[in-house]
Amino acid sequence: MKRPSVSVIVPVYNAESTITKLINQMLAQPINNIELILVNDGSTDGSLKILRTAAKDKCVTVIEQENSGTASTGRNAGLAIARGEFIMFADADDEVSPESITVMLDAIKGVDLAVCGWREIYPGKSLVRSYQDETLTSDLRHRILKSLANEGKFYGVCNKIYHLSTIQEHGLKFRTDLNFGEDLLFNLEYFKCISSIRVINQVLYKYNTSNGGLFIDGSLNRTARRQNDRALLDFAGKRHRLLAMYIIAKWWWQYVKAVIRS
């Protein structure tokens, strides 16, 4: 069997109202060797029935597991069976542009990671996160930290495409004991293993903020935040420690404001 160019991993929990649209968008991409891995995390609605129907397509694989309460478990399950040369992630209530996968496959040629822009959808409005085209090949840690201090392109995993070989070679997995910042921790470990990143200005992913309450709950978790702090300091090392401490101070100020709002 021909190896897929890319494996897209989607954790699914009670997403019957949105997952069909995402599946259709993935399967309509102008590429015929995609592997779409849908991980049902113990859904109690009609999600599993939708996934089983989708699995009639030879490009789709469905994993069924008991509810874990975290997307990390589903992503790790997907990584364990993925066969694609490259890896992408999506959330079950989000959307992708019609040619997002082909554009990202082109972007990662000759580099270790590619990053695109995205659109955040809020009730009655949207916010575009778009970045200048650039290829980073020097002083990556400083440039990543500087970006983390000012904007969010290096935080999440759904606006990126990764080399599966790098993930496998270094045994990278998502933390399943956290409900906040696990995407960033995965990225920081991946960043340690690479020497080049391409950023493209296309907006290819649409992030639905309907589950913003879950994000806010997670962001108020002090234990998770401290794990993020330690991971950032470890990534920064002695050379960039002051910059990392500045970022952490900004994070905790955001935490204080979130507590006040709650």
Query: In whole numbers, what is the pLDDT of the chain averaged over residues?
Result: 92
Give the helix ranges, DSSP H, for the chain.
19-27, 47-54, 71-81, 100-107, 140-150, 164-169, 182-192, 212-219, 222-236, 241-261
Specify whether the CB–CB gap between 174 and 80 falls below 8 A.
no
pLDDT in tens, 133-181: 999 999 999 999 999 998 889 999 999 999 999 999 999 999 999 887 8
Q: Which whole number is the average pLDDT over 121-137?
A: 92
**Residue at 254 is within a domain:** no
Task: State the pLDDT at residue 219.
Answer: 53
CATH code (residue 38): 3.90.550.10
pLDDT in tens, 2-49: 899 999 999 999 999 999 999 999 999 999 899 999 999 999 999 999
pLDDT in tens, 215-260: 444 455 778 888 999 999 999 999 999 999 999 998 888 778 777 8
CA distances to 13, 167, 233 from 10, rounded to whole Å, are 10, 17, 30
DSSP assignment letter at 30: S
- CA-nearest of 91, 102, 101 to 38 is 91
Q: Which whole number is the average pLDDT over 190-201?
A: 98
Task: State the pLDDT at residue 213.
Answer: 39
Task: State the pLDDT at residue 190.
Answer: 98
Amino acid at 42: G
Task: State the pLDDT at residue 216.
Answer: 43
pLDDT band, residue 210 (cuts 50/70/90): low
Does the pLDDT at position 193 exceed 80? yes
**Residue at 114 is within a domain:** yes
- Rg of the Cα atoms in the chain: 18
**Residue at 236 is within a domain:** no
- Show the domain range for 170: 6-210
| Between residues 85 and 126, the one the model is more confident about | 85
Q: Which whole number is the average pLDDT over 100-119?
A: 97
Task: State the pLDDT at residue 131.
Answer: 94
Query: How many domains are contained in the chain?
Result: 1
**Residue at 38 is within a domain:** yes
Task: State the pLDDT at residue 255.
Answer: 73
**Residue at 260 is within a domain:** no
**Residue at 96 is within a domain:** yes
**Residue at 69 is within a domain:** yes
Task: State the pLDDT at residue 181.
Answer: 87
Pairing state between β 113-122 and 86-89:
unpaired
Report the half-sphere exposure of 120 (CA within 13 A, side-chain side): 11
**Residue at 99 is within a domain:** yes
